[in-house]
Copies of this chain bind each other. A is one copy, B any other.
């Protein structure tokens, strides 16, 4: 049994980790860290876990924690892990960080977009960006995995094959994303109250959302050069789910023709055919977030618009599963040599 500790276990992503790990046969949760609820029964904070999880919430004593567990999940605010990480910890346990602290290679990008100083930038190079379908081999060896953001996982997986294969012009990429409200976390803010979100839709973080540079960095690796995009997130009155609608101009071939539907489909097949958790839907069937709710799947499809020479790509996932806790567990499975799908075969809940 792998011993796991969670810091930030009472946020929504942390609670989803608890849900998934509770059903994982090879893992035992040894530490439920939650600064806000120290000493409280975990199941009294998340009553869905009543009779399923017995422990109390503990403080975030990471020094003590690394002695007790094999893997630490940090589902914490930006800057937390960066502020405490040291080499000694990485020698004792492997880390999967659900925050953005180690997602970038360039500390300047992090500090510019997050407006936080990074006190342990020396680990940024070592950290592996935990997008399993792209970086599987490096993840297996990693001591420190930077678990991708929810919007980014969806946005990147949806565009990656087409950029990697040179079928679209990366500089024309526009990502218009829509998210359920659990992505905003469990903090008590007026803007996240039921009455403010229900019967409402809005864009936020227009031109400034922090997932922008993360998408750009990863798609830049696919393109082989820096990529600059527009990314606009929207808040949707639902609990879970992200839908990314992406627009890009098809790349002109040397003969002036554009990529065909068959070529685009072939590109998706090339990268995702063997991927359990990426489902490229049949032609004409567009992803819906409800079809992946509660599961680790990302559904993808596309439509070419011959009139404009653009292709519209659409991806959907559950922001708390493949967009957070599910991918974290998928990373853990890779890191510990377990079957990659262990604990992650939850069938999507519909309706």
Contact = CB atoms under 8 A, between A and B. Distances in A.
A46 B197 CA distance: 14
Contacts of A241: 199-201
A293 B239 CA distance: 13
Interface in A171-203: 174, 176, 178, 180-182, 186, 188-190, 192-203
Q: Copy number of this protein in the oligomer?
A: 4
A228 interface: yes
B351 A195 contact: yes
A201 B241 CA distance: 8
A292 interface: yes
Interface in A263-322: 279, 281-282, 285-295, 299, 303-305, 307-308, 310, 312, 314
A42 to B, nearest CB: 13
Contacts of A312: 203, 206-207, 230, 232
A350 B15 contact: yes
A27 to B, nearest CB: 14
Interface in A240-261: 240-241, 243, 245, 247
B178 A201 contact: yes
A22 interface: yes
A79 interface: no
A61 interface: no
Interface stretch (A49-57, A115-123, A143-151): A49-57
Interface string A17-50: 0010011000000000000000000001011111
B239 A237 contact: no
A192 to B, nearest CB: 5
Interface stretch (A85-93, A132-140, A341-349): A341-349
A117 B238 CA distance: 40
Contacts of A304: 207
A126 to B, nearest CB: 29
Interface residues of A, number: 82
A47 B347 contact: no
A309 to B, nearest CB: 9
A245 B31 CA distance: 37
B196 A347 contact: no
A204 interface: yes
B193 A238 contact: no
A62 interface: no
14 contacts: A46-B350, A52-B347, A178-B178, A180-B199, A198-B238, A198-B351, A201-B288, A203-B312, A203-B314, A204-B286, A228-B307, A230-B305, A230-B312, A239-B351
Closest 6 CB pairs of A and B: A195-B351, A200-B290, A48-B348, A202-B288, A194-B197, A176-B176
